[in-house]
């Protein structure tokens, strides 16, 4: 399985999935692939990733986050962390199923932005809920399981973000780096548990269920591909 939080140099090679071999798929590729390779594509993605944070900051300053702005800000940052993580995980199946190899060049940025949103989410919790008191934060982490899961997910993301640069890949070595970045799957599962436990207090599981179904599909696709490769080698 490929890592998904960042993109290794060797992962830039083109995929050749059967689903993209149809004439319609080739036509879409001829139109979309150059757009994804355009030099403006990454700056546009950067702005798109920054937009939710800009909106939340503006809404907080303009008092547009409702009766409990601190809670709305913290939860909004958490929601965008999950969305960023799920989008990052979706890059590989989308790339392989569509034949749009250029999608791989956006995975690193999405992964780094996801970590940034997770960090700001953690900072907002520590500041707005705990007053940046280390003892209070440590006690809350130990006392409440959903806080523990959230902190654990962030801690697991930290080494992935710290090694999301080309120099880190060379320093660690490609194989070890790929093995390390497979931890993104554990991050996703722990982050989902954090979300489920957080919503359990209000008996509201509808949105976590949607995230759970999407994650099951993303991980199930990877498992199916891995089993297929094993069968091919055995055959």
Residue 30: pLDDT over 90: no
Examine residue 163 and state whether it is found in any structural domain, yes or no. yes
Band the pLDDT of 3: cuts 50, 70, 90: very low
User: Any residues with CB less than 8 A from the CB of 115 and at least 6 apart, and which?
Assistant: 5, 157, 158, 160, 161, 164
Examine residue 4 and state whether it is found in any structural domain, yes or no. no
Examine residue 155 and state whether it is found in any structural domain, yes or no. yes
Q: Please give the Cα distance from 214 to 82 (Å, whole number).
A: 11
Mean pLDDT of 172-180: 91
Task: Report CA-CA distances (Å) from 2 to 20, 58, 128, 140.
Answer: 20, 37, 37, 35
Task: Report CA-CA distances (Å) from 158 to 13, 110, 131.
Answer: 27, 15, 23
Examine residue 1 and state whether it is found in any structural domain, yes or no. no
156 within 8 A of 192, measured Cβ to Cβ: no
Examine residue 2 and state whether it is found in any structural domain, yes or no. no
Q: What is the pLDDT of residue 22?
A: 54
- Tens digit of each residue's pLDDT (9 = 90 or more) over 203-221: 889 999 999 999 999 999 9
Q: What is the pLDDT of residue 28?
A: 77
Q: Please give the Cα distance from 202 to 204 (Å, whole number).
A: 5
- CA neighbours within 13 Å on the CB side: how many for 142? 6
User: What range defines the domain where residue 15 resides?
Assistant: 9-234
Count of domains observed in the chain:
1
């Amino acid at each position: 399985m490929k890592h998904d939080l960042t993109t290794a140099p060797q992962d830039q090679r083109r995929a050749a999935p059967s689903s993209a071999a149809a004439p319609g798929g080739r036509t879409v590729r001829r139109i979309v692939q150059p757009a994804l390779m355009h030099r403006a594509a990454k700056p546009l993605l950067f702005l798109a990733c920054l937009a939710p944070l800009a909106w939340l900051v503006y809404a907080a300053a303009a008092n547009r986050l409702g009766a409990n702005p601190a809670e709305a800000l913290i939860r909004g940052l958490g929601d965008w962390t999950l969305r960023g993580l799920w989008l990052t995980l979706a890059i590989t199946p989308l790339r392989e199923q569509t034949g749009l190899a250029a999608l791989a060049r956006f995975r690193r940025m999405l992964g780094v932005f996801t970590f940034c949103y997770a960090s700001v989410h953690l900072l907002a919790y520590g500041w707005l809920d705990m007053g940046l008191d280390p003892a209070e934060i440590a006690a809350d982490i130990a006392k409440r399981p959903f806080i523990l899961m959230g902190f654990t997910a962030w801690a697991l993301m930290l080494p992935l973000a710290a090694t999301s640069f080309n120099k880190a890949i060379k320093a660690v070595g490609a194989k070890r780096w790929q093995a390390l970045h497979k931890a993104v799957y554990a991050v996703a599962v722990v982050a989902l548990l954090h979300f489920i436990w957080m919503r359990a207090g209000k008996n509201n599981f509808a949105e976590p269920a949607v995230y759970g179904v999407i994650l099951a599909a993303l991980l199930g696709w990877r498992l199916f591909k891995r089993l297929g490769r094993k069968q091919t080698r055995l055959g």
